[in-house]
Chain A
Amino acid sequence: MANLKDIKRQISSVSNTQKTTRAMKLVSTAKLRRAEELAKRSRLYADKMNQVIAEIAGRIQCSKIGGIENRCFTEIENPKMVDIIFVTADKGLCGGFNIQTIKAVNKLLAEYKEKNVKVRLRGIGKKGIEFFKYNEVELFDSVSNLSSKPDKEKSDSFISTSIEDYKDGKIDAIHIVYNGYLNIITQQLHVNKVLPVDTEDYDCDKASSSMLEIEAQDEEHMLDSLVSRYVEYNMYYSLIDSVAAEHSARMQAMDTATNNAKEMVKDLNVAYNKARQAAITTELIEIISGVESMK
């Protein structure tokens, strides 16, 4: 049986950890509230934006009206190079939050490898970057300190490289992988193909009833500018959503940790009491047997 002093030390160490995890939980709860608010407000806009884009893309796909041929709206056969952008947290201690994203990225990488497609991996968030560096997976570029503090300008300049390359024909698809916020206890993994715009779900029969007319002589210009905004916004929204999810994941992880620590202190206290009792019993036996032997 461990000696009393050791158990005592262990108890105090575990309860210190408990204090830390509880504090971290409280911090995350406070941060979550703000991030959640932002994500909720933006969600509506992101949804509508995607809806509008999907509708335009769908109609272009269905009727090919006006001979619009834009790379952004047509599925590219036999892609040669694709961009995968992942968003992870800058910090750990948030349960399976980061590893889930990393797993999804790995799966996507394997899929493309099978098809002999080159992948440019672009990373946001220290945890993911560290993981891929450690595993010697080549990153095209990476940026940290963006996922913890989403910033529209930085996010725009990061994604613009991909948009430009896509429009120039250097890459054939852009994926964004991130772990998003669903509600306070669940995160949802998103693997979004932002470009080319997904038109699979679009119902052509519905579209035939109404014609699409695109204002402006230069529809190319309109679509270009619209698509850029759409991708930029999607990137930014991924960051906002990811930060909300990160805080909720951390809050949960820290809550579990606090509970585990509490449980552990309880067990250790029992062990301590048993050890103490055992020590007392031993002492008593020694005294009694001492007295007995003197008789």
Chain B
Amino acid sequence: MDTFKLEILTPNGEIYNDDVISVTLPGEEGEFGVLANHASLSTLLEAGVIDIENKDKSIESILINWGVVNIDEEKVIVLVEGAVAIRGDSESSIATALEDAKELISSIADTNPAIVAVTARIESAAQRLL
């Protein structure tokens, strides 16, 4: 399976940098998936969850509050303002990540109806890990 390079950066440093099979991003116009050899594209991202399919086919979820993505044939660069990776080895660490994620969500203006959907998404991502 073809892979491509994915970089996710926050002002506090890099949170993801690896080859992946696919990534699903919460674009302003709606969610969209990216596979290897995608055409060049730049767009804004809104609050939502980035789903990453790793090389070993495991799925990882990262919650973001705002971002911009720059896609070209070889790599995808995602710049985000705030992000929480929903992952962990034990139940308690996943729960902590979930708490952080909810905190990030509540820091965004709560008028956005998408937030309910996002909250549901992070819950289900956590469920998958447990």
Contacts and interface: CB of A to CB of B under 8 A. Distances in A.
Given A44-B14, A45-B9, A233-B11, A215 B43 contact: yes
B34 to A, nearest CB: 12
B123 interface: no
A133 interface: no
B119 interface: no
Contacts of B43: 214-216, 222
A55 interface: yes
B72 A210 contact: yes
Interface string B1-44: 00000010111111000000000000111000000000111111
A115 interface: no
Q: From DSSP, what is the main secondary structure of chain B's interface residues?
A: strand
Interface string A171-199: 00000000000000000000000000000
Interface of chain A, main secondary structure: helix
Interface size class of B (residues with CB under 8 A): 20 to 34
A226 interface: yes
B79 interface: yes
Contacts of A225: 44
B73 interface: yes
A52 interface: yes
B77 interface: yes
A214 B42 contact: yes
Nearest to B74: A210
A105 interface: no
A213 B9 CA distance: 22
Interface residues of A, number: 22
A216 B44 contact: yes
A212 B79 contact: no
A48 interface: yes
A41 B12 CA distance: 5
A84 interface: no
Interface in A224-244: 225-226, 229, 233
Contacts of A222: 28, 42-44
A264 interface: no
Interface string B66-81: 0010101100010100
B108 to A, nearest CB: 15
A216 B70 contact: no
